Amino acid sequence: MMKKSNTIYKALYTVALLFIFQMCFAQQEAKKVTFNGAARAQFFGDRYKLNAAEEDTITNAKLNSGNTLVDLGINIRPHSNMEIQGLVRIRNDYGGFWGAGVSFDVRQLYVKGVAGGIVRYQLGDINYKLTKYTLWNNNQEIISNTPAIFQQQTDVVNYDHFYSNDNSWRQQGASAEMGLVFSKYVKELNFYGVATRVKTSDFGQTNDRIFSGLSIQMLQSKYASIGWTATNTFDIEGTSRQNSTFHQPVVTMNANFKIPFSSFQNSIDIEAGKSGWFYKNLDAAPNLKGQFLDAELLSRHKATGIFGSVQLKYITSEFRSTGAQTKRTNYDAVPVAYQRITNNQDLRQITMLDLMRESSLYNMQLQTKLMAFSPQYDNITPYGDATPNRQATIIKLGYNKAGSPLNIESLIYTGSEVKGEGTKTFRTFRRSDTRAQLDLSEFRNDTTRVAEVSVSYRNDKTTRAGTEAIPSVDLNTQVWSIGADYEWSKNWHVLAGMQMISYNGFDFKNVRDQYGNIYNFTEMKTDGEEKMWALGIKHTFSTRSFLSIQYYNFELKQNTTDGQNYNFGQWMLLFQIKF
């Protein structure tokens, strides 16, 4: 009881302080202190049904959960070149009246500004990205390009984990940027620097671990730019009793050229680099040296809006990049909702429904080892563009023209491993992916109201020839989705969507040791299907706030011996406002 009271008092005390600050600064100068933030209320009503011969008599069929929260931020501008932002989150879980279930967190705190009119700096919580091979927060698989109705829950997870649309990582540290402008030969020379702490010393066997990055980008003209980027994840010796220190440097060069040709707008993007992964004073750890090369030629016909690209990739199996290979999804975690099911109370496997709504499955810290992944969901690019051990040709073709209601893009990925796993024979990968979006508002009288249909289809295939003794690899994944967002009356939307994943086949999953070396393989036989459809209504109060009520139906069917078969029905009420 004492703890609950303390939490409430803390919350009230902070809110009061924020108001006092607001009043003090407001009296001095207008807009020196502003409030910002967001508020959200989200409620789930789940209904679970096991589809098996034996009825599940142990697991509760219904489960209600939810929370209400306020992210209250205060933005202080002591002078024109400095900004201080603090954001506190007060969250009350569903059923948490009178302080029970209330949590109170500092969600964001930073100082940023311009020093001497030259160096732009930020201290504290920073969002940062560099290149796709050095520091890049890749989107989570399966649910990143879903119909609008599914996107609402994904957006909530992304917001809670600071996953921005610009693929930056939220870290705690410092960044500094500066630029030089020239009158001849070179237009601009920009410098970017970042340093964040990714692990804290325990003063015993764990050293402080730092991620640092430096990038120099030279803009020669509007047609050409060349850059150099280096990152390093390293332990600071002496911050614990551990003598061995970890080091993971990555150095890359990148270039971009824009080459107009007739009515075509062409561009070339190239990035190449190398990486290291080693421990000092630890003989047992491997010393990995990797390389990569990525070049893309993109051409766009200005008049018709048709575009196409050819991309070539070569990434060795030893290439490691802490900043670019860390996954958002932690597949070693387990879902919180209905964590155990069936009469045996088996752990429930992660599904796309969980990926869409389960906060507990997501990671916010850079990882120095390759994280676990789900081959069923993505066996080809589990670590995004920087996925190691890949050589591939990616061909894209699409149509995207301003003012046109149709937007379509197709991709064909054909590749293989660079180095075999357990055999000299390489796995081969083939992906075909098509997405289309049709804006039907053009065909209505009121073109300001939304009427959109989206369709997507992805087919992944992994194969590797076997021998008489070694089973061949043949893993197939298909993902398709269709969604609609129809604003039938001003600010009133009907949303509908369906997404299905089917996977079947066989592959070997790597078992890696503490240093990431593969020391064993486990067999993975899979044959299943996940289906999710949803229907909902959304009312938008403004561009920054909405209320949405939705019903989801999710079905998992697995035809393997340890497969799980069940249905979820889910009601969700979501209110969200950003201010």
Partner 1 sequence: MKKTAYILLGISLLAFWSCKPKDEFDGPDLNDIYGDFLINQPLQISDDNLDFANGEVSNVTVGLSKNVNWRLEITGLQSGAKKIATGFDSQIQYTWDGTTTNLPMFHIESCALQLTFQNQLDTLRDTINVSSLRALEGFVLADFETGLNPGWDPFVQSGANMSFTIQTNNQAAQGNRYYDMGGTVTWDWLIGLLHIPASAYGQTTLPLDENASNVYFNTLLYKPESIDNGLVLFQFREDDNGDGVYTEGSEDLFSFQISPATEGWAQISKRYDQIVTLINGNEGAPIGNGLHEPNKIFQVSVLFLANPTSGYSQAYLDYMTFTSGSPVNP
Residues engaged in binding partner 1 (CB under 8 A)? 220-221, 223-224, 255, 257, 259, 268, 270, 272, 293, 295, 297, 312, 314, 316-317, 389, 391, 416-424, 426, 467-471, 508, 510, 517-521
Structure-block tokens of residue 223: 């047609």
Please work out, in degrees rounded to the nearest 5, the angle formed at the alpha carbon of residue 362 by the alpha carbons of 360 and 366.
Answer: 135
User: 460 near 433, Cβ under 8 Å?
Assistant: no
- Cβ-proximal residues to 304 (8 Å cutoff; 6+ apart), any chain: 399, 401
Of 151 and 391, the one with the shorter C-beta distance to partner 1 is 391
Q: Minimum Å distance from CB 343 to partner 1?
A: 35
Amino acid identity of 95?
A: G
Q: Minimum Å distance from CB 295 to partner 1?
A: 4
Of 312 and 573, the one with the shorter C-beta distance to partner 1 is 312
Sequence-ordered strand ranges (E) for 316-374: 340-341, 346-347
From the list 213, 208, 231, the residue with the least C-alpha distance to 175 is: 213
Amino acid identity of 386?
A: A
The SS3 assignment for 20 reads: helix
Residue 428, beta-bridge partner list: 416, 463
Q: Minimum Å distance from CB 380 to partner 1?
A: 17
What CA–CA distance (Å, rounded) separates 363 from 386?
A: 18
User: 551 near 571, Cβ under 8 Å?
Assistant: yes
Q: Minimum Å distance from CB 488 to partner 1?
A: 50
Q: Minimum Å distance from CB 431 to partner 1?
A: 19
Distance of CA 383 to the CA centre of its chain: 11
Of 317 and 545, the one with the shorter C-beta distance to partner 1 is 317
- Cβ-proximal residues to 157 (8 Å cutoff; 6+ apart), any chain: 163, 356, 357, 358, 359, 362
Structure-block tokens of residue 559: 């035809």
Distance of CA 399 to the CA centre of its chain: 26
Radius of gyration of the chain (CA): 26
Q: Minimum Å distance from CB 226 to partner 1?
A: 9
Q: Minimum Å distance from CB 136 to partner 1?
A: 20
Of 269 and 439, the one with the shorter C-beta distance to partner 1 is 269
From the list 207, 215, 231, the residue with the least C-alpha distance to 177 is: 215
From the list 483, 575, 491, 487, the residue with the least C-alpha distance to 534 is: 483
Q: Minimum Å distance from CB 129 to partner 1?
A: 23
What CA–CA distance (Å, rounded) separates 507 from 380?
A: 12
User: 219 near 195, Cβ under 8 Å?
Assistant: no
Q: Minimum Å distance from CB 475 to partner 1?
A: 16
Of 229 and 481, the one with the shorter C-beta distance to partner 1 is 229
Please work out, in degrees rounded to the nearest 5, the angle formed at the alpha carbon of residue 334 by the alpha carbons of 331 and 337.
Answer: 135
Q: Minimum Å distance from CB 474 to partner 1?
A: 15
- Cβ-proximal residues to 372 (8 Å cutoff; 6+ apart), any chain: 330, 331, 332
User: 345 near 57, Cβ under 8 Å?
Assistant: no
Please work out, in degrees rounded to the nearest 5, the angle formed at the alpha carbon of residue 329 by the alpha carbons of 367 and 103.
Answer: 95
Q: Minimum Å distance from CB 424 to partner 1?
A: 6
Of 97 and 519, the one with the shorter C-beta distance to partner 1 is 519
Query: Is the dihedral angle over the CA atoms 56, 59, 60, 61 positive or is it negative?
Result: negative
Of 24 and 259, the one with the shorter C-beta distance to partner 1 is 259
Q: Minimum Å distance from CB 259 to partner 1?
A: 5
Amino acid identity of 54?
A: E
Of 61 and 511, the one with the shorter C-beta distance to partner 1 is 511
Of 312 and 336, the one with the shorter C-beta distance to partner 1 is 312
Of 45 and 466, the one with the shorter C-beta distance to partner 1 is 466
Of 97 and 261, the one with the shorter C-beta distance to partner 1 is 261
Q: Minimum Å distance from CB 467 to partner 1?
A: 7
Distance of CA 84 to the CA centre of its chain: 27
Of 59 and 510, the one with the shorter C-beta distance to partner 1 is 510
Of 416 and 550, the one with the shorter C-beta distance to partner 1 is 416
Half-sphere exposure of 334 (CA within 13 A, CB side): 10
339: enclosing H helix or E strand: none
